Amino acid sequence: MSLHLTIDDLKSQARRRVPTMFFDYADSGGWTESTYRANEEDFKKIKFRQRVLVDMDNRTLETTMIGEKVSMPVALAPTGSTGMQHADGEMLAAQAAEEFGVPFTLSTMAICSIEDVASVTKKPFWFQLYVMRDKDFVYNLIDRAKAANCSALVLTLDLQILAQRHKDLRNGLSAPPKMTPSNILDMAIRPRWVMGMLGTKRRTFRNIVGHAKGVTDLSSLKAWTDEQFDPSLSWKDVEWIRERWGGKLILKGILDKEDAEMATRTGADAIIVSNHGGRQLDGAPSSISVLEEIVEKVGDRIEVHMDGGIRSGQDVLKALCLGAKGTYIGRPFLYGLGADGKRGVTRALEIIRKELDMTLALCGRRDINTVGKDMLYR
């Protein structure tokens, strides 16, 4: 086992262990991938003020996100097909997050179902909802999340239609993968992954198959998902979703301050400043570059979270300094999962925690709840 000191180390190992089709699915953005790249690059432009001779003893990273206690303000973002990075991926990642004391968000497009994840966790997790045309399916999904005791619903707003990702088309992405000669070869050199997949029954979208009308197998599933994302979703829909759900609601995919304003009027508990990890509107700004203006506009009325491009604890701290109350990681935990299953997800969280804690100290602070813009060069 190689020494993983950075998220990049986990990424390198995941690239060796996960079949190309699924590794590329994680490591890709829309069209030219310019927004995907900007998410990471724009963090690098922000600089910390180095402070000295401040008592750095007894530091704490503990805080809250939507009123829930977290050991650090870093949740696992909802990611589709996570069980293809590693067998039973969502269940393993949820367990790692639970043990670490941070929220795990299960995607509608997960491989493991709400019930699968609930069966291996003790604390409530969060559920991410995509709104489909089949409203009976959506009602049922909300009810299943309630029955599983999920403590927040994350409603994703920026995927009414699916943007084009060239790598997925070129690789012929599918779950489970098509057995073409090149895919067979690609998997044959990754026996750990293959053994894991042969050892589980969870290889399809289990929130959907057997629950949506007419979806009983993979070919009907493909036809269903192709036509099901609801392009007519509007602000009015947030109202009935909030009512049906009745619990904490987080709106994900806000990138514009006018939309942030609209979001506060829905009565949601938090927004996530996000461009879907650069996977949807290529050419949109990075999340970190618009965070500050959104916090200025609505931060006194709604909790503002962010995701996109976080690759270290330093990035987390920069987002918090600019006013985020919480952050999410997508690819960092997927790389951990692909590299080493549950242990790899824990490792990703440990790496981020250590970087966050040390950077906090070197900036002369002890409590994550006291950070602010005054810690950055402006």
Binding residues for ligand FMN, rule: CB under 6 A, are: 25-26, 39, 77-80, 107, 109, 128, 156, 252, 274, 276-277, 279, 307-310, 329-331
Closest distance between ligand FMN and the C-beta of residue 57, in Å?
A: 32
* Closer by beta carbon to ligand FMN, 88 or else 365: 88
Nearest approach, Cβ of residue 311 and ligand FMN (Å): 7
| Pairing label, strands 270-273, 126-129 | unpaired
- Cβ atoms within 10 Å, residue 246: 10
Chain-centroid distance of CA 55 in Å reads 35
If the CB atoms of residues 109 and 148 are measured against ligand FMN, the closer one turns out to be 109
Kindly tell me which of 7 and 371 has the beta carbon lying closer to ligand FMN: 7
With respect to ligand FMN, which residue has the nearer C-beta, 126 or 186?
126
4 flagged as catalytic: no
When the beta carbons of 109 and 263 are compared against ligand FMN, the nearer one is 109
Beta carbon nearer to ligand FMN, 124 or 308 = 308
> Smallest distance, Å, CB 157 to ligand FMN?
9
d(CA 178, CA 287): 35
Q: Is 253 left (phi over 0), alpha (psi -120 to 50) or beta?
A: left
Cβ proximity to ligand FMN, 280 vs 359, nearer residue? 280
What's the closest the beta carbon of residue 81 comes to ligand FMN, in angstroms?
7
Residue that is written with structure tokens 């709604």 in the block: 302
Token reading at 144? 């299943």
Q: Looking at the chain, which runs of residues are DSSP E strands?
A: 63-65, 68-70, 74-76, 105-106, 126-129, 152-156, 248-254, 270-273, 303-307, 326-329
Q: What is the DSSP string of 271-324?
A: EEE--GGGTSSTTSPPHHHHHHHHHHHHTTTSEEEEESS--SHHHHHHHHHTT-
Indicate the SS3 state at residue 191.
helix
Query: Under a CB-based contact definition with an 8 Å cutoff, are residues 327 and 320 in contact?
Result: yes
- Residue written as token pair 């922000």: 46
Catalytic residue among 4, 86, 276, 305: 276
| Inter-residue long-range contacts of 201-204, CB under 8 Å, 24+ positions, other chains counted | 202/83, 202/87, 202/88, 202/111, 202/112, 202/116, 203/83, 203/84, 203/111, 203/175, 203/176, 204/111, 204/175, 204/176
Tell the smallest beta-carbon distance from residue 49 to ligand FMN (Å): 26
- Cβ atoms of 161 and 276 within 8 Å: the answer is no
Q: Which residues pair with residue 76 across a beta bridge?
A: 104, 329
Q: Which residues are catalytic?
A: 276
